[in-house]
Amino acid sequence: MNTFAMKNWEESVVSGTEGAPRIAHAHATFAYSGLIEGEAVIDYLLYYAGEGFDGGGTTSPGLERIEGSVDGRKGSFVIKHDTGFDAQGITSAFTVVEGSGTGELAGITGSGTTTGVLGEPTMSYTLDYAL
C-alpha cells in the first residue's frame, strides 16, 4: 500500500481573518512508504472560504520536493499539487515538475493523486511514472 504521514504542519494566515475568506501559507514535512520511500517538504498556498477546513470547492497549489527512492531508484524530484479540501478530507492531483529529478531519478516524469481523511494518521497516494 502506498501511504504518507504528516510529520509536521506549520500554517499561518497571509491575508484575511480567521473564520472569514482568507489565504494561508502552510509548510509541512511528510514521510512516504510504498512505491516512494523517503521524506518530503511541501509548501502550500491555501484558500479558505470561511470557517473551518473548507476550501470552498477550489483547489490550492503546492510544491513538494521528495527525497528518497521510487521503486528502489534513489534521488529526488519535485511535484506540483492542485489540492482540494473540506471538513471530510483532502484530494489532490499532481504532476512531476519536468527536469526536477536528480540521481537515479533524473528524467522522471509522471502524475498521481493523493486522498485522505482529516485526523487519520496516513493518507494514500498513486504515482504513474516513467524514467
Strands 89-96 and 109-116: antiparallel
Extract the C-alpha cell encoding 43: 509548501
Q: Which residue has the cell 517538504?
A: 41
pLDDT tops 90 at residue 38: yes
Q: What is the mean pLDDT of residues 50-73?
A: 88
Q: pLDDT value at position 106?
A: 98
Q: Which residue has the cell 510529520?
A: 7
pLDDT digits (tens, 9 = 90+) for 92-110: 999 999 999 999 999 999 9
Q: pLDDT value at position 77?
A: 98
In terms of average pLDDT, the best of 14-23, 64-73, 117-126 is 64-73
pLDDT tops 90 at residue 81: yes
Confidence of residue 53 (pLDDT cuts 50, 70, 90): low
Extract the C-alpha cell encoding 45: 498556498
Distance CA 40, CA 21 (A): 29
| C-alpha closest to that of 42 among 60, 33, 24, 30 | 30
